[in-house]
Structure 1
Amino acid sequence: MKVFEFQCKIKFLKDVEYQNVYEKTTYLLDSVLIKDEQYLKFHESKDYKFYVTDAPWPVESDGIYKKGHVYTLRIRSVDGNLIEFFIKHLYQHQTKELLCIGGEVRMINPKRMISKLYSVTPVILKNDFGYWKAEISLPEYEERLIVNLMKKYQSFTGEKIEDDVHLYDSILFKNKMPVKIPYKNIHLLGDKIDLEIANNEMAQKLAYFALGVGLGENNSRSCGFVNYKYL
């Protein structure tokens, strides 16, 4: 299994505020996928998508992406074919706000064991009652977080994982208030988290996998994008 990262260079055709940029970059990718019959089915399916994006960087100090400026959108996936599709079809593709002008691809390859995952974009766990802290306990949240990642891993690799996997030694929430992500005329509420990854083989496999698919849900909507530190 390999994690690929396409660093897509996008030129902004209009000023876009930071809180609206997730919807704009998501639409950019979606509008490419739906032009291809195979990836249209992929886009419309309820299956795991196995890719994750972050917000364009660098972020401007005033929170407004500037018309005429070029930023980098990172698209990661464990699906090499999907990354190749984006590389080929995003070039010169544009929406009202964005134009892709190229980019480069690399493979994510930690030099040593992963010691920490930290979220760049908010980790989302969707439910019917809103933000989780008022409704479920921390152990329940942690179980959902881990089970979600395990299910994605098993779906992609076909490898069975024991239920008692020890993924991390500690979790730290970086935000005092929930972080909002616009989604279909509502806001999803998530968290910026740090995970101290455990020193065992399965934890390391899952942590590496998370770099390519994200933590939590709505990863193809720019949620749960994580970076890492290694020992």
Structure 2
Amino acid sequence: MKYFELKCKAYIKQNIELNDSFDILSSYINFSFLEDEKLKKSHGEKGFKNYCFGNFYPIEKDKVYKVGNTYEFIIRSLDEEFIYKLQRILRENINNSYLQVLQATKKVVKQFFISELYTVTPTITTVKDENGKSIFWTVDKDGDILKLQKQLQDNLLKKYENFYNEKLEPTQNFIQLLEIKNQKPQSIFFNKKINDEKYIKVRLFGNKFKIVPNEDEVSQKLAFVALGCGLGEKQSYGGGFVLGKGIK
């Protein structure tokens, strides 16, 4: 197993507030897909996209990314061809009113033993409440940790099976220890198009976790998938971007 990463250096053309940054980056990446017929087709299809991205860093104290400064962001995928195509497109300097990618450096990461995972963007997870209605999992709204862990594992299993076209047979949940790092839900905002003239701002609620995965083969594969294409849902909006510690 491998994942492929693009570390992008971006020049900021106008101030970007933190609450707008996920939507701006998501839109920028989505627009890039239009420059390649295969990416354009896959983007329009339903199902897992097998990529994730992190927000601009470093974060400014006032939570505003400043015009004239450069920041980095990372895009990851299990799909090498996807990363290769995206690298080529980004190097062609897509015209955008908010940012311009100056550099996109590719990195290949082979599977390694993962001792800890840390989510650096909110992990979005939907579960069913007692009435069968889908809700975002938060401590206040649900609070069932075992339900959360099952949902996170089921999502990773589907991502693995979708990309590798084979099933895994876990004997336990891949999570040995889960620690919620936020005191209140974390948010991702994006603009949803209603018609040609109108947009509404949508708010996704999530959490940031520290996860210690189990050491068995299946658990380690699922932890690696979390690194390669995100933990939880809404990766195309920036959800569930993960960093890992371990032995390489």
> Which residue identity is paired with 1:192?
K
Match of 2:156 in 1: 149
Match of 2:13 in 1: 13
TM-aligned CA deviation for residue 135 of structure 1:
3.9
Match of 1:132 in 2: 137
Match of 1:74 in 2: 74
Written as runs of structure 1 = structure 2, the 5 A alignment for 1:4-153 is 4-91=4-91, 92-109=93-110, 113-126=113-126, 129-133=134-138, 134-135=141-142, 137-153=144-160
Match of 2:206 in 1: 190
Q: What CA distance in whole angstroms lies between the structure 2 residues aligned with 1:71 and 1:140?
A: 37
Q: Which runs of 5+ in 1 are unaligned?
A: none
Query: 1:32·1:89 contact (CA, 8 Å) conserved in 2?
Result: yes
Structure 1, residues 88-139: CA drift from partner, whole Å, max 9, x if none? 00121131101111221111246x5211111010100136544323246221
Query: 1:123·1:224 contact (CA, 8 Å) conserved in 2?
Result: yes
> Which residue identity is paired with 2:12?
F
Q: What CA distance in whole angstroms lies between the structure 2 residues aligned with 1:114 and 1:132?
A: 25
> Which residue identity is paired with 2:231?
L
Q: Secondary structure at the residue paired with 2:169? A: coil
Q: What CA distance in whole angstroms lies between the structure 2 residues aligned with 1:221 and 1:131?
A: 15
So what's the TM-score if we normalise by structure 1?
A: 0.94
TM-aligned CA deviation for residue 205 of structure 1:
1.3
Which range is displaced more, 120-129 or 144-153?
120-129
Q: What CA distance in whole angstroms lies between the structure 1 residues aligned with 2:84 and 2:170?
A: 34
Match of 2:222 in 1: 206
Query: 1:33·1:40 contact (CA, 8 Å) conserved in 2?
Result: yes
> Which residue identity is paired with 2:137?
W
Q: What is the number of equivalent residue pairs in this alignment?
A: 230
Structure 1, residues 134-190: CA drift from partner, whole Å, max 9, x if none? 246221121111100011001111221115343121100001110010033110000
TM-aligned CA deviation for residue 199 of structure 1:
1.0
Query: 1:93·1:99 contact (CA, 8 Å) conserved in 2?
Result: yes
Query: 2:149·2:175 contact (CA, 8 Å) conserved in 1?
Result: no
> Which residue identity is paired with 1:105?
K
- How big is the alpha-carbon RMSD for the aligned residues of Structure 1 and Structure 2? 1.6
Q: What CA distance in whole angstroms lies between the structure 2 residues aligned with 1:37 and 1:175?
A: 40
Q: Secondary structure at the residue paired with 1:47? A: coil
> Which residue identity is paired with 1:15?
N
Query: 2:227·2:242 contact (CA, 8 Å) conserved in 1?
Result: yes
TM-aligned CA deviation for residue 20 of structure 1:
0.8
Q: What CA distance in whole angstroms lies between the structure 2 residues aligned with 1:40 and 1:60?
A: 34
Q: What CA distance in whole angstroms lies between the structure 2 residues aligned with 1:163 and 1:197?
A: 13
TM-aligned CA deviation for residue 215 of structure 1:
0.3
TM-aligned CA deviation for residue 211 of structure 1:
0.8
Q: What CA distance in whole angstroms lies between the structure 2 residues aligned with 1:153 and 1:13?
A: 38
Structure 1, residues 58-101: CA drift from partner, whole Å, max 9, x if none? 11122111111111110001100000111100121131101111
Query: 2:55·2:121 contact (CA, 8 Å) conserved in 1?
Result: yes
TM-aligned CA deviation for residue 24 of structure 1:
0.6
Q: Secondary structure at the residue paired with 2:236? A: helix
